[in-house]
Structure formats: structure tokens, C-alpha cells
Amino acid sequence: MRAVVVDEPGGPEVLRVADDVPEPEAGPGEVLLEVRATAVNRADTLQRRGMYPPPPGASEIIGLECSGTVAALGEGVEHLSVGDEVCALLAGGGYAERVAVPAGQVMPVPAGIDLVTAAGIAEVSCTVWSNVFMRAGLQAGEVLLVHGGSGGIGSCAIQLAAAYDARVATTAGAASADYCRELGAGLVVDYREGDFVAEVKEWTDGHGADVVLDNMGGSYLPRNVDVLATEGRVVVIGMQGGAKGELDLSKLLPKRGAVHATSLRARPPAEKAAICAAVVEHVWPLVSDGRVKIFVEDVLGLDDVARAHERMESGGHRGKIVLDVSGS
């Protein structure tokens, strides 16, 4: 089986396509997928550098999502059939021709979406729905502040929140401002030059953000608390700005605010299955009717995986970077 391997942590150059990687098998409750495509996520670059190891028992191969067809069913799997076109949320293993995944994390491809594009839909949809809606409980009429609105997660969060009648503000580079507005953001703050606390407060007549979806971590923590509305919720899903930050409880307590730090990858299969089921119910209809679009900026072959990681780490991309595994 062809798959991407990492012999030692390092830069994109350490990524190597091997032709003799052992093929996985579908255990009880699992499905074996013939991978058509996978998507590159920022977490993949951290794993490549040795900073984000897979959970115990998960594949050491990089890749947190994929699309493909069902190749085999493990014992006890009855709701899927060999040949079904699906996409899947993975704990690892996506950068390969085949991957075994718990059946609850396998989802049908939304109507109208081609199989290559579907490779980039599972991770962002599950991340946004589980954090913004299930964890933070965003409601219609509330204000969502999304950091990094032009990326895969950010663009999905803007569209989903707008579709559910929330008001959306986002931080982004100046070149991506119009793009974010087209997705549904009512306010775009230049993260290099702007002050998102002041601008969000002005835009909301002093109310602030009810929910903040944050991928920066420590460096943004004090300002995320400052921008919170009363009963506001910060959900931290990344640490691009560092792992440590100062939390001023004298500001958080009067707001009766909450700071949640969550990770999707390490959750047990039962929790991931519940998230995937909710995504199929609440998100897929919006994707099928075009209210939520999955933007794929580039499709590269598996042999171009190093270049794909370079693109991800260089920043400035919009939407998803996809690796066409079977077409490479």
C-alpha cells in the first residue's frame, strides 16, 4: 500500500511516499475505506514536526479526514455497504491508499458534492459544529467572533453561523476581507492592523461577542476575554499563538464567562460518532443546497505532499488543500 511516512520529525522535506506500507484491516465495528482523497490540516504539520502525536492505538500515518469508497466491513457493521461513497473523520491514517475507521465516523457524501471535494469536509464540519454549536451553544441572533476567517475552519464557521442566523465577525488578512464578507461575515478586522476588541464592541454597540472560536491560544486569551459579552463563551481549538496566556479572572467573573479548551482528535469513538451524526443531520442539508460551500483552493497528488505542507505553513491560503490519493 502506498502511504506517506515520516522517518524523523522535521520540515516538509521529511515526508516520503512509501510503496510497501502494511495495509490496515477492518476490526469489529470498523470500516475499511479505499481512499480517493485526503485533506491537509494544520494539525498534520504539527504531527510531522513531532508536536502532535496520534492518540494511543491510532495509525501513525498522518491524515485526519478522507473521502473514498467502502472496501470491507468489520464485524457488526450493518448500516454501510461495500462500494458506498463516503467521507470520514479520522484519528490518523488519511495519507494512504486505505484506512480503517470506526463505522460511526463514516458519513455519506452530501448530495451534489464530488468525491475529491468531500475529502475536505469532515474535519472542518465536525470541528465547527462540535465547538460552536454543541459546546458553546451558539443561538440565532448571537454574535460569533471567528479568528482566521479565510482558512478551512474559519470559512466553514462563518457560513454555518450565518446560516443559523447568528451575526458573524472575523479576523483575517486585508487581502481576504472581501472573501470573508462574501461568506457571511458582517465585520472583518485586519488581524495585523486592527483592534478586534474595539471594533467588535463598536459593531455590536458595546455588547461584544457571545461566542469566540479561537485558533491562536495563549497570545489571544486576554483580548478574547475582553471582547466577551455577558455570559460569553470562548472556545480554544488551537495554539498557533502559544500554549500559555494570562487569564484575568477579575474580568471573566463579572461577565459570568467561560473558557473552553477542546480537542476533537483525542475524543473516544462514541463521542466522535455522536458529532458525526449531528453533522449529517444539521450541516449536510446546508451543504447540499449550497448555503454552506466547501472551498478547495488546490488539489495536489500524493507525491506532492511536501509542497502541500509548505502551502499550509506559508499561510494566506483560502479553504482546503486536498491530496488526490488515487489520482496521483
Please return the burial class of 5, using the count of CB atoms within 10 Å of its CB with bins 0-12, 13-18 and 19+.
middle
**Range with lowest mean pLDDT among 160-164, 215-219, 315-319, 321-325:** 315-319
Domain shared by 170 and 228, yes or no: yes
186 and 170 Cβ atoms separated by less than 8 Å: no
**Range with lowest mean pLDDT among 7-11, 207-211, 237-241, 251-255:** 237-241
Q: Which grid coordinates belong to 282?
A: 444539521
Pairing of the two strands 187-190 and 167-172:
parallel
First to last CA, the chain: 13
Query: Mean of the pLDDT values across residues 299-325?
Result: 92
Question: How far is Cα 39 from Cα 22, in angstroms, rounded to an integer?
Answer: 21
Please report the sign of the dihedral spanned by the C-alpha atoms of residue 59, residue 116, residue 268, residue 244.
positive
Domain shared by 271 and 257, yes or no: no
Give the structural domain span for 140: 125-261
Give residue 240's pLDDT band: very low, low, confident or very high (50, 70, 90): confident
190 and 170 Cβ atoms separated by less than 8 Å: no
This prediction has a pTM of: 0.95
Give me the CATH number covering residue 153: 3.40.50.720
Domain end among 227, 243, 261: 261
Domain shared by 269 and 248, yes or no: no
Backbone angles phi, psi at 324, to 5 degrees: -85, 100
Domain shared by 165 and 225, yes or no: yes
Domain shared by 145 and 226, yes or no: yes
Domain shared by 108 and 139, yes or no: no
Residue 239's pLDDT is what? 87
Please return the burial class of 231, using the count of CB atoms within 10 Å of its CB with bins 0-12, 13-18 and 19+.
exposed
Residue 170's pLDDT is what? 98
E strands, the chain, in order: 3-6, 15-18, 30-40, 65-73, 85-89, 98-102, 106-108, 143-147, 167-172, 187-190, 209-214, 228-236, 258-261, 296-301, 320-324
Domain end among 230, 261, 292: 261
Q: Which grid coordinates belong to 156?
A: 466553514
Question: How far is Cα 122 from Cα 137, in angstroms, rounded to an integer?
Answer: 20
Number of domains in the chain: 2
Domain end among 215, 246, 261: 261
From the CB of residue 314, how many other CB atoms can be counted at a distance below 10 Å?
A: 8
Query: Mean of the pLDDT values across residues 212-237?
Result: 96
User: Of 114, 112, 136, whose CA–CA distance to 67 is shortest?
Assistant: 114
Q: Which helix (H) or strand (E) holds 48?
A: helix 42-48
Place of cell 459570568: 256
Q: Which grid coordinates belong to 82?
A: 461495500
Domain shared by 161 and 115, yes or no: no
Domain shared by 312 and 222, yes or no: no
Question: How far is Cα 135 from Cα 126, in angstroms, rounded to an integer?
Answer: 12
The most distant pair of C-alpha atoms in the chain lies apart, rounded to whole Å, by 60
Residue 125's pLDDT is what? 97
Mean pLDDT of the chain: 96
- Kindly report, residue by residue over 51-67, the tens digit of the pLDDT: 999 999 999 999 999 99
Alpha helices in 174-268 (DSSP H): 177-183, 196-203, 221-227, 249-255
Residue 327's pLDDT is what? 73
pLDDT at 328 over 70: no
Domain shared by 206 and 304, yes or no: no
Domain shared by 100 and 137, yes or no: no
Question: How far is Cα 207 from Cα 229, in angstroms, rounded to an integer?
Answer: 6
Residue 243's pLDDT is what? 87
Residue 241's pLDDT is what? 85
Domain shared by 58 and 15, yes or no: yes
296 and 124 Cβ atoms separated by less than 8 Å: no
Question: How far is Cα 73 from Cα 170, in angstroms, rounded to an integer?
Answer: 42
Give me the CATH number covering residue 311: 3.90.180.10
Domain shared by 174 and 257, yes or no: yes
